[in-house]
Amino acid sequence: MMIDTSVIAGENQTRAGSLERDYETLGERLDRRGIAIDAIKAKVAAYGVAIPSWGVGTGGTRFARFPGKGEPRNIFDKLEDCSVIQQLTRATPDVSLHIPWDKADPSELREKAGALGLGFDAMNSNTFQDQPGQDQNRQPLSYKFGSLSHTDPATRQQAIEHNLECIEIGKAIGSKALTVWVGDGSNFPGQSHFARQFDHYMKSAQEIYANLPDDWRLFTEHKMYEPAFYSTVVQDWGSNYMIARELGDRAYCLVDLGHHAPNVNIEMIVSRLIQFGKLGGFHFNDSKYGDDDLDTGSIDPYRLFLVFNELVDAEMRRVPGFNPAHMLDQSHNVTDPVESLMVSAMEVQRAYAQALLVDRDKLTGYQQDNDALMATTTLKTAFRTDVEPILAMARQETGGAVDPVATYRSAGYRQKVAAVRPAVTGAGGGIV
């Protein structure tokens, strides 16, 4: 179910005059800084961030889940929601699947995505929870005490085979990467032997990596805590870097913005991973206290900009092999997930556009002269620039909506899908 293009055209028409004036005014301001606005617009229009299939459903907490109207019933409903996000923002061409949540016939997945104009990004395995009531023959063993690092070899092998299954599904639908995140760890001192546990993980990861297609990449993801609260097997970027280095050239580190301790300098971590050729990609979101999975840019948009400042710096320097994957990873508890994902995709584009405005020559000069004030002022000049006319014009020229959220609401998409998708309850809740 797509949004009628006439609705998009009508909404855009009402905003066309104001947008053109705003774009022209911003272009004049940027021209005085030696920046060609059309060049920035072209880069923004070519930029895309992948949508997480799980993100279009209402998330949950440890206490409850409050589903909204028209919740997707299956992966095919999820793809329809994802297609609307792409239709309106023109910033989300690919979808990242999570197995077994999204398990379906690969040919049907590919056919549905193709009909909706979508592709597939990295596959995501799930060995951080058991799958009660479904396919028990495939998972006879529990992940309560770990998966790839479990003390039991049979449980480790089960987790390995699940990841290999994800690769096979991904090959059939055109994916080129596997993201592995495990909740393995411990909740009490002495519960686990740190070295043996990490050794189990490494040997499991090596077996997965050995079965990776030649044109695929493996992304391993670190997380400081949760669901394990005393120790986590892949707890930080240092452990993640060691894993990627030991596995091989096609193994990379994935950075989730919410998976770090408060006040950690994430942009410096990004720089280090770029410098040593191991930055694989991102799960964009935002956080206040921990892994909150809040909408991207909703809490600390300046940090998001600083991350993109490092990415654009690497892009401008043409760092060999630099090709990070960009994905959203969010949980929406009180908003319409489609709206949140649209806003987040635009916030990522905004940070990218702002980072493109940084005067690199001046910044380098100030850094060389140890002029701290002018160096940071150079960054803030770019960050404070309202680039919305660039984003909106890029959307309009590529067939998207000048104002995606307003157009989405005007089209009544949520009400339409609610009429055909059965209502669901929040009973049971669960951790997301």
**Is 133's pLDDT higher than 70?**
no
- What was the pLDDT predicted at 88? 98
Summary mean pLDDT of the chain: 95
Residue 56 has pLDDT above 60, yes or no: yes
**pTM for this prediction:** 0.95
Give the pLDDT band (50/70/90) at residue 65. Answer: confident
Nearest to 183 by CA among 224, 135, 128, 221: 128
Per-residue confidence (pLDDT) for residue 77, from 0 to 100: 98
pLDDT tens figures, 169-181: 999 999 999 999 9
Residue 284 exposure: Cα atoms within 13 Å on the Cβ side:
32
Return the pLDDT at 425: 67
Q: What is the mean pLDDT of residues 290-316?
A: 97
Tens of pLDDT, residue by residue over 112-124, are 999 999 999 999 9
Lowest-pLDDT range, 60-69, 253-262, 403-412? 60-69
Q: Please give the pLDDT value at position 430.
A: 36
CA torsion sign for 133, 139, 143, 148 is negative
d(C-alpha 265, C-alpha 285), whole Å: 16
Q: What is the mean pLDDT of residues 77-88?
A: 98
pLDDT of residue 429: 38
